[in-house]
């Protein structure tokens, strides 16, 4: 029996990302031993705020080409109170999303038994959502900027890009998830927090 091999680029990032990623890798290593038939080769990378503070960059030169050699990217969480959010967003997160067309961000949200809810008067079963967010278009397209910087007429612009293909693929994904769920409901909302300017 041949053993399937998978090279996984691991970007733990910062804070809770480091903790969650380390625990997940431990689980995956144990699953590999217990189940067998496959081998996971973890390429642990230092693309995070600690690297940025030490070297002035979240990533080394050629980092996207390095990631292309992997079968998958396991990405933790990036962010540090001492580094403005837009730096990690535009230096690491968005170039990765756009280069690999990681156009869907899936965030299941549920109240689980034994975990105190942050919503008052709610318990398990009262909240069970799957949030699907578009990751590469809208404000994430990176088309904004500033002109006449430092003058009295300095101007900031932000252009949200929505292609037919981009909208269709994320909407199709969301509708397919909704069809698999008990209530088969889909709600569309807009959230804008990734402006360049």
Number of Cβ within a 10 Å radius of residue 21? 20
Instruction: Check whether residue 168 and residue 185 sit in a common domain.
Output: yes
Structural domains in the chain (count): 2
pLDDT 10s digits, 8-47: 999 999 999 999 999 999 999 999 999 999 999 999 999 9
pLDDT tens readout for residues 106-125: 999 999 999 888 888 888 98
Q: Is the pLDDT of residue 85 over 60?
A: yes
The two tokens of residue 138 are 């809208």
pLDDT (0 to 100) of residue 169: 95
CB 159 within 8 A of CB 196: no
- Contact 73/11 with Cβ under 8 angstroms? yes
Each residue of 148-179: pLDDT tens digit?
999 999 998 888 889 999 999 999 999 999 99
Round to whole Å and give the CA distance between 95 and 160.
17
Instruction: Give the residue-averaged pLDDT of 63-82.
Output: 96
Q: Looking at the structure, tell me whether residues 107 and 196 fall in a common domain.
A: yes
Clarify whether residues 109 and 24 are in a common domain.
no
Position 150 scores a pLDDT of 94
- Which residues touch 180 (CB under 8 Å, ≥6 apart)? none
Share of the chain above pLDDT 90, in %: 72
Give the domain-ending residue among 101, 118, 138: 101
One domain, residues 83 and 139:
no
Please list the helix, strand and coil fractions of the chain in percent, rounded to the nearest 5, in that order: 35, 25, 40
Average pLDDT over residues 187-193: 78
Structural domain that includes position 124: 103-197
DSSP state of 90: I
Same domain, 188 and 137: yes
Indicate if 72 and 128 belong to the same structural domain.
Answer: no
Together in a domain, 76 and 21: yes
Q: Are 11 and 25 in a shared domain?
A: yes
Rounded to whole angstroms, what are the CA distances from 185 to 38, 119, 130? 38, 21, 11
Give the per-residue pLDDT at 196.
63
Instruction: Choose one of 86, 101, 116: the last residue of a domain.
Output: 101
Residues 6 or more apart in contact with residue 139 via CB below 8 angstroms: 158, 160, 192, 193, 194, 195, 196
User: End of a domain among 101, 130, 163?
Assistant: 101
Note whether 86 and 115 are same-domain residues. Answer: no
Name residue 7's beta-bridge partners: 41
Q: Does 5 lie in the same domain as 88?
A: yes
Answer yes or no: do 50 and 109 share one domain. Answer: no
Average pLDDT, the chain: 92
Q: What is the pLDDT of residue 25?
A: 97
Instruction: Name the CA dihedral angle for 23, 25, 31, 32, rounded to a multiple of 10 degrees.
Output: -160
Kindly state whether residues 2 and 97 are assigned to the same domain. Answer: yes
């Amino acid at each position: 029996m041949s053993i399937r091999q998978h090279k996984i680029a691991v970007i733990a990032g910062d804070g809770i990302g480091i903790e969650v990623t380390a625990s997940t890798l431990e689980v995956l290593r144990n699953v590999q031993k217990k189940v067998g038939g496959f081998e996971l080769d973890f390429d642990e990378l230092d693309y995070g705020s600690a690297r940025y503070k030490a070297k002035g960059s979240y990533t080394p030169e050629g980092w996207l080409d390095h990631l292309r050699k992997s079968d998958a990217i396991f990405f933790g969480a990036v962010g540090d109170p001492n580094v403005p959010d837009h730096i990690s967003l535009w230096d690491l997160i968005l170039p990765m999303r756009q280069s690999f067309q990681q156009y869907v961000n899936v965030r299941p949200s549920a109240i689980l038994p034994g975990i105190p809810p942050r919503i008052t008067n709610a318990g398990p079963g009262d909240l069970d959502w799957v949030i699907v967010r578009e990751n590469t278009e809208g404000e994430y397209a990176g088309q904004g900027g500033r002109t006449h910087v430092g003058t009295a007429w300095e101007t900031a612009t932000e252009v949200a890009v929505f292609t037919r293909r981009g909208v269709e693929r994320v909407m199709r994904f969301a509708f397919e998830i909704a069809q698999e769920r008990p209530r088969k409901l889909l709600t569309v909302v807009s959230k804008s927090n990734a402006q360049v300017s």
